[in-house]
Amino acid sequence: MPNEPLKVAICGASGYAGAELMRILSGHPEVEVVSVTSERSSGKSPVELYPHLNKYAYLSYEPLAPDILAEKADFFFMALPHKTSQPAVALLYKEGKKVVDLSADFRLSDPLVYERWYKTPHNHREVLRKAVYGLPELHRAKIKKTGLVANPGCYPTGAILGIYPALKSGLASPEGIIVDSKSGASGAGRQADIRFSFCEVNEGFRAYSVASHRHTPEIEQELSAIAKKKVTINFTPHLLPVNRGILSTIYLKTAKKTSTENALGVYKKAYRSEPFIRVLDPGALPDISAVRGTNRCDMAIKLDERTQTLIVITAIDNLVKGAAGQAVHNMNIMMGFPEETGLDQPAVFP
């Protein structure tokens, strides 16, 4: 006899991450989406905003009312803007609900770092202390036991996964790390803004938030924990004229003599049991188009022998492994579902 489905609510479900949660959960056999919230689209059906979500014709967006929602659902995906997420997450968590928060509000364990980069106070520090940074490949054991997961940012996901084995193994130095990332336009969210209008993005390419992007401290927090010392990095995001995908090109100085084969061995070993990481064989290089719509992270490692630089390239779908897919992966771990449940479909290519 099948179990009763888990009752799930998605708060902030009118944006792309929320819509992607709906898409993924529509194929998840253990879950029933019972509520979706949106202030601006309150009263509308998700199908009005997203014609592809016709399976959700039975739902209407509701305004965010955490206490009412707490009666309806047992598991919460929070896809609200940062700052707005703080009190809603805190309330639901204190009610004993399980929560995956896709905002930045519970990612940085040091509230002062949060306040410096996000320019807003953190008013729920006691809840922050309970949150686990939800990168399963690094923190699976803790995720299993927590009631609150801070789902990683899209850029940090691709960056940290690309650096972790080299740093952990001592192959790479924690000094002078450079992360040069390129993201599709859905990373900017669903918004009316001339800078993200079709004609301004299409056939263009540009960097933005140079030396100032808010995902920087998040990457540094995790790398520092791995290296067991304070790590400071260069991170440069760019806007790609595609809908989805982040490719990160990472430059690591070697800490000891190595080779491409040796480095590859370290990465393959580190990720050998990971269902969503694929370390490519020598010669192959990742393309964002091969992970589109999936929770996979493809990566390649190559040593530039002339400069003793390890070049790691990672590709993810920013809306899936970089947001909604990783959130569902975290839910699967928290709830004891098989980790790939709902997340095992191949990319739609071309």
Q: Which residue is catalytic, options 11, 154, 199, 297? A: 154
251-270 binders of its own copies (CB under 8 A): 251, 253
Q: Taking a C-beta distance cutoff of 8 angstroms, is the pair 244, 282 a contact?
A: no
Question: Six-digit token pair at 350?
Answer: 């071309």
Nearest to its own copies of 123, 202 (CB atom):
202
240 counts as binding its own copies under rule CB under 8 A: yes
Residue 113 in the binding site for its own copies (CB under 8 A) = no
Residue 112 binds its own copies (CB under 8 A): no
Distance CA 79, CA 21 (A): 9
At closest approach, how far in Å is the CB of 70 from its own copies?
A: 28
The label of the residue with tokens 């529509």 reads: 26
What is the Cα–Cα distance from 180 to 236, expressed in whole angstroms?
A: 5
- Going by the DSSP 8-state scheme, the letter that residue 123 receives in this structure is -
Shortest approach of its own copies to residue 24 CB, angstroms?
9
Distance from C-alpha of 38 to C-alpha of 18, rounded to nearest angstrom: 10
95 binds its own copies (CB under 8 A): no
Segment contacting its own copies by CB under 8 A, of 68-76, 92-100, 311-319, 326-334: 311-319
Q: Which two tokens stand for residue 68?
A: 């009412």
Query: Nearer to its own copies by C-beta: 230 or 256?
Result: 230
3-class SS at 46? helix
Q: Is 154 a catalytic residue?
A: yes
Which of 59, 159, 160, 313 is the binder for its own copies (CB under 8 A)? Answer: 313
State which of positions 40-69 bind its own copies (CB under 8 A).
50-55
**Which residues touch 3 (CB under 8 Å, ≥6 apart)?**
30
Encoded tokens for 333 = 């771990």
- Rule CB under 8 A: say whether 118 interacts with its own copies: no
Active site residues: 154
